[in-house]
Chain A
Amino acid sequence: MIEGARWRRWSFFYVPVTAFVIFLLFPFYWMLVTAIRPDRELYKPWSSPLYQPFWTLHPTFQHVHDLLTQTLFSTWMLNTMIISIAATLISLFCGLFAGYALSRLKFPFAGSIGTGIFITYLVPQTLLFIPLSDIIRNFHLGDTPWALILTYPTFLVPFCTWLLMGYFKSIPKELEECARIDGATRWKAMLFIVFPVALPGILSAGIFAFTLSWNEFIYALVFLSSPTEKTVSVGVTSDLVRGDVFYWGQLMAGALLGSIPVAFVYSFFVEHYVSGITGSVKG
């Protein structure tokens, strides 16, 4: 609710909100304008009187068209999507079980295993990717989506586990005990009683994991080689950054097309996402 005098509303709400929106979304507007700007206008310096950064009088879909026809952009999108979804599912699978075990069950070394899982999150990727390429080779995973589907969880699982651990802690133990009294096994109580209640938490972990996989660069660069296997980040930078020539229009079109669809999907989840994180941190 926005209450108070008009000037208060303006200075404490509208002005800061507008400032935030501009700061956060202006780069996207910039990408949009660049993506539809003809090359001729692209190369006007900022101090030129003819410089019109905020709009163009000659919008063109050439860059978008080139991006979709001259590069394998749609294939890269599909690859990224498949890899991100698969890696997210694996991470959720591991994270759910591990999080449940660590927050609900008593067994030897639970604490140190929990810490151990967390510490793996601290190991920098720049250290890991060389030894990892060894493993990828031994398993013959190179240049297949599996190379990423199996390595992305290394930084996703610790996060999911910790997020879900917190969430499970916030679910009252009685819920589960009731089910057990009704004759359910531990396994079933976990699967059919605890997990469904944890759905918002699962969703928020999933969204976070998906975003991180969507963004990843180094592993995707090193482990994949066929043009048809690449992900958006790597594909776009390989094809549109050519030595000292950048294809700005197409680059920006790629950036936009690579993020807006995901934002739409998120807009359906965001309310759950919000409540999901809440649960996890209450514990």
Chain B
Amino acid sequence: MSLLSAASSRAYVVRRPRGPIGRMLEDERWLGLALLAPTIILLGLFVAYPFVKGIELAVTNTTVGQPGHFVGLQNFVALWHDDIFRMAVWNTCLYTVVATTTKLALGLWLALLLNRSFRGKAFMRAFILLPFIIPTVLSTFAWKWMFDPTFSVINYVLLHLHLITVADRINWLGEPVLAMVSVIIVNVWRGVPFFAISLLAGLQTISPELHEAAAIDGARAWARFRHVTWPLLLPVTMVIMLFSVIQTFADFQLVYVLTGGGPANTTQLFATYAYQIGIGTGLLSQGAAISLAIFPILLLVVIVQLVYIRRVETV
């Protein structure tokens, strides 16, 4: 065996790839560059360039069809004084925090449940993914109808459980707080499967022996979770949270279809407001400024998370 490996190791030293390209690809620096090229070209062309254009837009007073001139940070100053914008900032943060933590909690719970073996497990794992698969616009229409003040099936159920009466039906999308709750419910509904499946994946890497060992030591279920499962699951959780936060923060379709930001802007988010201003009124530069204003906040959140992930990973 050792002889063999010695022989092949010599072969490794002796044999050189043929041709100049082959030789270049043997160099880590060139290979790295070559491998990254498609991604860099694609992202450069379709993200970096439009992104720069977007920044350019945000510091001018461009409206649709009228190239504006440079106005500095005027658009951002205007936003700072804009009530609706401040509301959108607050709403977006609230929406993101509540929705992602709920998704995490429910997703984790579901993952723990699905981690046991029972009949129909594979089937169930595939079908709980449905809310994640269905085109968001269409599922949101279904929810819209379930929330509809006149036809709400949810109210029907509550009525028949004797929790409400016909007179005090719940106006899901019509009351400021409830509207936000409803929007969050739909977001959670769509996001839980992703969390559950991803966390389930994480759970399966934890070897059962660890649990058994802890059980033998007399640890109760909660303690086992707290001191064995959770720490091992943390890295997975952080990555999922990272992607979920980004997506939730920039959520658009859901609110656009469900409430349009109403009632009285209580569900207005960054993306919907940016769309309303940029597209609805043609104030492209202001719309771009709103979209851009997301960026530093998101960046901050993400940096915190990334630093945390690194810390978790290195510990």
Contact = CB atoms under 8 A, between A and B. Distances in A.
A13 B113 contact: yes
Given A101-B36, A124-B274, A126-B287, A259 B133 contact: yes
A98 B39 contact: yes
Contacts of B189: 23-24, 27
Contact of B126 (A102, A123, A127, A267): A267
Interface string A172-192: 000000001111011100000
A132 B166 CA distance: 50
A81 interface: no
A197 interface: no
B204 interface: yes
Given A157-B42, A255-B138, A280-B239, 9 more contacts: A16-B109, A21-B124, A97-B35, A105-B31, A126-B274, A182-B8, A183-B8, A186-B31, A236-B135
Interface stretch (B82-90, B174-182, B223-231, B290-298): B290-298
Contact of A45 (B9, B54, B151): B151
Given A122-B295, A157-B39, A27 B123 contact: no
B262 interface: no
A260 B159 CA distance: 31
29 contacts: A16-B113, A27-B146, A30-B145, A44-B151, A47-B159, A53-B156, A98-B38, A101-B36, A107-B32, A120-B43, A120-B48, A123-B47, A126-B275, A126-B287, A127-B288, A132-B50, A166-B239, A181-B9, A187-B31, A233-B136, A236-B137, A237-B138, A255-B142, A258-B135, A259-B138, A267-B122, A275-B204, A278-B205, A282-B205
B29 to A, nearest CB: 4
A275 B236 CA distance: 12
B219 interface: no
Nearest to A222: B279
Contacts, number: 306
B54 A127 contact: yes
A128 interface: yes
B45 interface: yes
B49 to A, nearest CB: 7
Interface residues of B, number: 106
Contacts of B146: 27, 30
A95 B38 CA distance: 9
B70 interface: no
Given A127-B51, A274-B201, A46 B156 contact: yes
- Interface-central residue, B137, B143, B253, B274, by most chain A CB under 10 Å: B137
Nearest to A281: B236
Given A185-B25, A281-B236, A113 B40 contact: yes
Contacts of A120: 43, 47-48, 51
